[in-house]
Amino acid sequence: MHRLPFSAIAVAALVLFVHAAPDRAASPVLAPLDTLAPDLEALYSDLHRNPELSFHEEKTAAKMAERLRAAGFEVTTGVGRTGLVGVLRNGKGPTVMVRTDLDGLPVEEKTGLPDASKATTTDDSGETVSVMHACGHDIHMTSWVGAATLLSKARERWRGTLVFVGQPAEERGGGAAAMLKDGLFTRFPKPDFAIALHDSASLPAGQIEYVPGYALANVDSVDITIFGRGGHGAYPHTTVDPIVIAARTIMALQTIVARENSPLDPAVVTVGSIHGGTKHNIIPDEVRLQLTVRSYKDDVRKRLLAAIARIAKAEAAGAGAPKEPEIAVTDGTPATYNDPALTRRIAAALSRSFGEKNVLEGEPVMGGEDFSEYGRAGVPALIFWVGAVEPARFEKAKASGAPLPSLHSSEFAPDRRPTIRTGVSALTLAALELLGKP
């Protein structure tokens, strides 16, 4: 691949950043973004090359802390284990929290890009794994740094307090809860509003999407161990076969959504793995199931989990199992609810700058995000999406029906320059909308 000298790279990055700007994003506060463009792209490339797993984001957090300090923020590190909080006070006015997530995923990158991650690490189970920013958290962090820098430079245009939060372990779903437990809303100014963005693998770069109300789902992982009495496969009458019990259980679980849940309340019960047995002619002593369970409403969540336990126990009892199944619910995150009034307010502000055709209302999905924890802690909150797909590639895929690499894919590669520019601009303008005016 032909490599340009540094000065040419900087000029090329600047030109692409300028030309990627939405036609109507003309706020004077955004003017320095053109100058910041090469530095932001260099930061993105560094973050992309050097991802870290959940609750191990020490170097990543240090980089974010350094950037915030340079922008004039008071920075505290080690919040919620590896998180950080930056506070910038600028007179009397609202307190606005802007969150980014820090962690990468145990995925081997296969994009073939010059700055592709080749990082490996030892995970919490002792296994050596590859690490990649396959969900765009490097885009989020770069946009967050850009917004912090622009807002700091424009202090004459707003009044209030900014709380910039670098959150660990979003991918594991425990980072937000850890920061709240460590005093995020007591040790630091409690926000009047909380905002965040997420890149999207199903939107073209330059577009923004928002969803009022429920936007992302409750997420629960359920582990079920079904016990039987093993023996020879040729003499099944001498055994209690846990594989048969598991098969009956899996089929019965499908009736929860189909027959016990209102069709007006979205819900998902998926058995993602089943493990049992070692050989053709051996009936095992136990079988393990792993489920993911999704919903929006708390009462639906409670009902789904209760039904799963009831069905698993009933199928075991009906088969004469020697003991009840063991059922464990782990890794839960609550549904993300975007405050409707806040969502409409920010959407209107972004539409004025980006144009209505580029700021679209989307549909809720069954993915999960622990950004939800901040809203449940009593703060009006909004997470919105910025497109990350190169527009020509998006249109080609749309026309042909060919799938694009999704988030968490080893081949996910955002169209970085326009995506970062949109992210920086959107976070900056959203915060300005909420902050007090001089």
Q: What is the DSSP letter of 259?
A: I
Catalytic residue, chosen from 101, 138, 170, 209, is 170
Tokens linked to 186:
């007591």
Termini Cα distance of the chain: 50
Task: Name the residue with tokens 């026309």.
Answer: 399
Cα(42)–Cα(49) distance, integer angstroms: 11
Catalytic residue, chosen from 57, 103, 171, 370, is 103
Q: Is 192 a catalytic residue?
A: no
Q: Are 138 and 44 in contact (CB under 8 A)?
A: yes
Alpha helices (H) in 88-187, listed in sequence order = 137-153, 175-181
Closest CA to 56 of 172, 182, 183, 197: 172
Cα(104)–Cα(83) distance, integer angstroms: 14
Closest CA to 312 of 269, 257, 243, 252: 252
DSSP assignment of 317-363 equals HHTT-SSPPEEEEEEEEPPEEE-HHHHHHHHHHHHHHH-GGGEEE--
Task: Name the residue with tokens 């080609």.
Answer: 396
Q: Is 123 a catalytic residue?
A: no
Residue type, 345: R
Cα(239)–Cα(11) distance, integer angstroms: 73
DSSP assignment of 397-412 equals HHHH-PPPPPTT-TT-
Which helix (H) or strand (E) segment holds residue 292: the answer is: strand 286-295
Known catalytic residues? 103, 170
